[in-house]
Amino acid sequence: MNLADPDPVGQSPEGPALFEGNSEPRLDAGVSGAASPVDKSGERVRDMFRQIAPRYDLMNHVLSLNIDRWWRSRTVQLVRDQLEVDGPLLDVCCGTGDLAIALASDRELDRSVVGTDFCGAMLEIAREKDDPKNRRGSGPSQRPAIPFLEADSMALPFPTAEFAAVTVAFGLRNVADTDRGIAEMVRVCKPGGLIVVLEFSKPTAPVLKQMYGLYFRQVLPRIGQWMASNDRSAYEYLPQSVSEFPSGQALCDRMEAAGLRDVDHTPLTLGVATIYAGVKTPTEGESNAGQRERDAIGPAATEPLERVE
């Protein structure tokens, strides 16, 4: 499942995650002045994203040197190439909707897409971007609007085995309990369906590792302070959360523990970001359980998932 297309900037070989152990500096060293775990409580994270929502897209593009657009396109490519199960797609922690919109606009996929996030302010921007008069690029000309729903990724409001693929881009590390977030993605995915995670990671090349750490400690906070001057925590949170989040094989192991097979990860742009993907392993009785949930919830819950031709 490893993507072999050349990276426009370069690609590092896969290897053990660095920035670990007592001899390696933390990415957040010198930013917060403390080594305590980052606070990912729901209210704190929701309020932070509410405050930065109006400039969230601009921050993403500037802080990633606009490479985040290409990272998402690679994620769509993986879903398109590897998906073998029929059904709609779900993008969790969708933020302002970039990945959900890219998936829904892909002509070859031609799937219905649902987006969820627990920050209403981000979803308002996503809905505005997906409005037909504001849509950019190509895609099915008559596709329906994406349902953007406010929901907790650790307790998704969908039946078991509902979606052919479940994706998340730069959002899993914001979930208070990573394992619960992965487990919910797996639960709502159909047997044989895909779980795809796009997330920041830690470069492995020694020189880039040092440059990356310097950028996170010195450059990123200053740019963030200018762009989100009303909330210091917004630009401190990124390096802290990336530093603490499992990457490489560590995250693959968690995905496998959640019931995925053929889990693989592909570093992008010298390991600055990584795509993780795995296939859901069917469990005994799951199909019947999913049908019972659908019957209990009723048809209204699934109507927004139907494609309108």
For residue 8, what pLDDT is reported?
44
Instruction: Name the burial class of residue 80, with classes exposed (0-12), middle (13-18) and buried (19+) by CB atoms within 10 angstroms of its CB.
Output: middle
pLDDT at 13: 33
Give tens-digit pLDDT for 4-47.
Answer: 444 444 433 333 232 233 333 344 443 334 446 766 766 778 88
pLDDT on residue 231: 57
Q: Report the chain (309 residues): mean pLDDT per 10 consecutive residues.
A: 44 31 38 55 78 82 85 98 97 97 95 97 96 70 88 97 98 94 98 97 84 80 66 68 89 98 95 96 64 52 40
pLDDT at 309: 32
Q: Whose CA is closest to 224, among 10, 73, 52, 109? A: 52
Indicate whether this model's pTM tops 0.85: no
- E strands, the chain, where? 89-92, 113-117, 148-150, 163-169, 189-200, 260-268, 273-280
Bridge partner residues of 89 (DSSP): 113, 165
pLDDT, one tens digit per residue, over 237-266 is 777 788 889 999 999 999 999 999 999 999
